[in-house]
Structure 1
Amino acid sequence: MGTEWKDNIDVADMLERVADLLEGQDAMPFRVSAYRKAANAIASWPQPVVELLAADGEAGLRKLPGVGKSIAAAVAEWVRTGQLGLLHRLETEASPEQLLASVPGIGPELARRIHQELGVGTLEELEQAAHDGSLEDVEGFGPRRGQQVRELLAARLGRNRRGLARKQEARSEEPQPELALLLQMDEEYRRRAAAGELRKIAPRRFNPSGEAWLPVLRRKLDGWSIRALFSNTALAHQQEATHDWVVLYFDKDDDEGQCTVVTAHGGPLDGRRVVRGREVECLAYYGVEAEEAQAPQPHA
């Protein structure tokens, strides 16, 4: 695998995978956190780390926030060889049963049955089975336990490489990009995705075939680093909105957050793109009198 294919998102994905496996094997929390922080730093770094490594070696990588000696060596190994010994060892050591049993409510025996009867071997496959109903066909599972697993995995797998997974989106009082900037990013992302111009990744969640279908766009606008992807949540799939709902992750200096842009259905903004949580601003942006309408409540 040539270095030309390893951009910062690829490197961050590799570090997140290491963190996931370490966490699944009950590694020390500080070690898991170190890999997640490094992934966060690399994903948002403006310069390709491949170039940094070529110019300054591992010492250059260690200048990045949260990247110490061992992680710098891991990044260098993966970039130069296309492989990472640590990742291979972690994947080898984690049996499917052990990984499944790491989920609260699933003991070793139940994990064995799930693996044998459904062929489930990863947490992503377990989540898929929990949503399509096949998990409840396994003896020992019922609707209540299935709901518990869905909720637990939504929290565990729903975190993103930049540590922005939250139960609520960024609060309105926190610094955020201008509304026009977000809508501009949303329009460019959907247009270029439709034209097939964007690099696609294969999300681990809700993607049993492993298809690379999810377009990714990263831009620097008005000092904000913004990354756009279609929503890959359970609700987006249930609503058949995976190619309508666009999640934008943004950061600038010490401010970071995320928002979801959707198409409004009904109300004064019907058919228009709306930033969820900022509907009142959208009314003004599109020239709709706020007193004439009640802000819509699109799903997210």
Structure 2
Amino acid sequence: MKSLMIQGTSSGAGKTTLVAALCRIFSDKGYRVAPFKSQNMSNFGYITPDFEISRAQVIQAFGARCNITPDLNPILLKPVGNYSSVVYLNGKRFKKMHAKEYYEKFVNSEGMKLASKSLKTLQKDFDLVIMEGAGSPAEINLQKYDIANMKMAKKANANVLLVTDIDKGGSFASLAGTMALIEKKYQKLVKGFIFNKFRGDIDVLKPGFKKLKTITQVPVIGTIPLIPLNLPEEDSLNSNPKDIVWNKKNIQKIDNELNKLSKIVKSNIDINSIEKMLQ
């Protein structure tokens, strides 16, 4: 049983798609793989007669070729406005909660227990759990309530890879700043940086990689090019996601995209280094 966690310097950095790609890559290598996100905020769920979880973890499960269960996303928050969300626990509607109530009275008690139980189940049943963080681990105003990033990585004994969206600019500062703002006890968990959505000559970046390692003591293990993807998006400020019908035709399209994505990621990330982290 091993765990790897993908965190980001921001929302939209590429965590979800990178986890999906890594799930496919390690499934192809013969690992029994499962994705996991302790807490996801999304209005786009995967609904069955028995449960509802975020569709992001479902797409990652397709990548991993594993069964879809509520343990993949034990806490789903569906925003309804006015700082409130409908909270789903283990795939079942729990209740509507204001952010203040959720953070101060739920997340570090029942929330952490629930997420930890799901994580333990996956770790018992699979060779590798590839975890996805939420937002950024450096939100210092929320760190004591954050059960989706470093606390969960520590509980899983997971190595962390930190991904950044270089197309937006400021990636070097984002990585260095994130390392400076996460708590010192968690900094040692970060084993590598990944630059995502790059276009241009990678040789232009390499001097920056060396300086970044000098500053943070963390190496860059990959640079993923900006590529068009035909995968269902999560809802965010920068996307207009659409509902999807989960029929065989659409699932086959997703599978084909996952194969394409995994090949590109595999050729641009040091997978051998990641595998050594897992030993």
Q: Scaled by the length of structure 1, what TM-score is found?
A: 0.26
Higher helix proportion: 1
Larger strand proportion, structure 1 or 2? 2
Greater Rg by CA: 1
| TM-score normalised by length of structure 2 | 0.27
Q: Which structure has the higher relative contact order (CA within 8 Å, separation 6+)?
A: 2
